[in-house]
């Protein structure tokens, strides 16, 4: 090799090295960090996310990394190294970006979210920005669309209709004594507990009084057993359910058992409970539905209930004890049937829909 060619080679190596070094510096130039994150259009299983970022190096962004965690575990999935992709690697689409289907988001659940911008390199690795700030948001309840899906599933197993004549409510003797002494003989609506579907919009929000209406197949009368107490208030069906009330579907669930529960809401037309339900729940035709009907035959109101589901009926106004009777039942107190704050079986194919549990 001549001295000239050796010099040329050294110069080429030096040039190449400098070019490589310059290129490396350019590649490692910091990407803009997302800030002012905004969450919008929140549903029970999706949301839109957007943020602001500096324009410097913005054109190099090819992907976004999004780290989403339930609030109580917000640090459980944080990565120690900023160049390790997190749960979601999304192409850098125009913002806001809809996040749906990448996680089984649960309704009515608090989450934390943080974002990185990223640039994919020719070797497949990523250069990433620092993490954004962590923000919090809460997913929504089931919408009417989701509840209609639950309703359709419940209709499949409701079974044939049986006659009923009364609604009833079981409690301990002390409950009825308290109502007489402190509430002028009128049972008062209370906020529904968190039993049933996690996304139900009535849980923790709707105020009402729980009643049952199921009858025994062989007698046509209410069963003598109850999980809620040995004293029973019975009231003629027409006093709670009639053409002056509206009927709504509220929920469909089971508790790791073979039998299923359907929650219905009866609300006097125009009442606060009626207005609450009208915005959130599918309304049923009181004369023609698969669960609980009220119709007139020969001038008399006739009532039917579904045989193959256990109906829980919420009445949204106060009910005076003088409208019915209170008496002790003769059966057992079956606590295993209690639905107080009962958790829905998330694996049941009969009563779950394909959104977050």
Q: How many C-beta atoms lie closer than 10 Å to residue 241's C-beta?
A: 25
Nearest to 39 by CA among 138, 141, 121, 172: 138
What is the model's pLDDT at position 138? 92
Domains in the chain, ordered, with CATH?
Answer: 35-139 (2.60.40.10), 144-328 (no CATH)
User: Cα–Cα distance between 281 and 208 in angstroms, integer?
Assistant: 15
- The rounded radius of gyration (Å) of the Cα atoms in the chain is 31
Measured CA to CA, the distance from residue 326 to residue 47 in angstroms comes to 49
* Chunked mean pLDDT (size 10), the chain, 357 residues: 39 35 45 93 91 86 89 52 57 88 77 91 89 93 93 95 94 94 95 90 95 84 79 95 97 89 97 96 97 91 94 97 92 58 82 72
Is the alpha carbon torsion for 52, 54, 60, 64 positive or negative? Answer: negative
The pLDDT assigned to 290 comes to 97
In sequence order, the 6+-apart residues with CB closer than 8 A to the CB of 255 are 261, 339, 342, 343, 344, 345
Under a CB-based contact definition with an 8 Å cutoff, are residues 211 and 313 in contact? Answer: yes
Q: Which helix (H) or strand (E) holds 227?
A: none
Q: How many CB atoms lie within 10 A of CB 162?
A: 17
Q: Is 159 left (phi over 0), alpha (psi -120 to 50) or beta?
A: left
- CB burial readout 310-325, b (16+ within 10 A) else e: bbbbbbbbebebeebe
State the Cα–Cα distance between residues 114 and 58, nearest whole angstrom.
Answer: 18
CA–CA dist 301, 297 (Å, integer):
6
Q: What is the reported pTM? A: 0.80
- Residue 345's pLDDT is 83
């Amino acid at each position: 090799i001549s001295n000239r060619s050796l010099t040329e080679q050294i110069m080429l190596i030096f040039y190449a090295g400098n070019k490589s070094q310059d290129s490396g510096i350019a590649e490692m130039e910091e990407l803009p960090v997302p800030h002012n994150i905004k969450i919008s259009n929140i549903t029970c299983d999706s949301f839109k996310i957007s943020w602001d970022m500096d324009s410097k190096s913005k054109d190099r962004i090819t992907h976004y990394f999004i780290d989403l965690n339930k609030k109580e575990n917000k640090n459980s999935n944080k990565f120690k190294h900023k160049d390790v992709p997190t749960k979601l690697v999304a192409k850098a689409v125009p913002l806001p970006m809809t996040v749906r289907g990448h996680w089984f988001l649960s309704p009515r659940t608090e989450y934390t979210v943080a974002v990185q911008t990223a640039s994919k390199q020719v070797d497949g690795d990523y250069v990433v920005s620092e993490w954004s700030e962590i923000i919090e948001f809460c997913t929504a309840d089931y919408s009417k669309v989701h509840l209609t899906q639950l309703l359709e599933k419940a209709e499949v197993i409701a079974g044939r209709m049986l006659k009923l004549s009364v609604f009833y409510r079981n409690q301990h003797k002390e409950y009825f004594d308290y109502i007489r002494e402190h509430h002028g003989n009128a049972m008062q609506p209370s906020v529904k507990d968190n039993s049933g579907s996690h996304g139900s919009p009535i849980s923790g929000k709707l105020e009402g009084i729980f009643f049952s209406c199921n009858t025994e197949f062989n007698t046509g009368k209410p069963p003598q057993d109850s999980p809620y107490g040995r004293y029973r208030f019975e009231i003629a069906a027409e006093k709670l359910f009639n053409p002056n009330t509206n009927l709504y579907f509220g929920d469909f669930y089971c508790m790791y058992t073979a039998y299923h529960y359907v929650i219905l809401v009866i609300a006097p037309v125009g009442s606060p409970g009626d207005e609450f339900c009208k915005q959130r729940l599918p309304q049923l035709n009181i004369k023609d539905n698969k669960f609980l009907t009220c119709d007139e035959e020969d001038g008399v109101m006739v009532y039917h209930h579904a045989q193959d589901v256990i109906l829980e009926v919420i009445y949204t106004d106060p009910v005076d004890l003088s409208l019915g009777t209170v008496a002790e039942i003769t059966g057992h107190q079956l606590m295993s049937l209690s639905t107080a704050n009962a958790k829905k079986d998330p694996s049941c194919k009969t009563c779950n829909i394909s959104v977050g549990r």
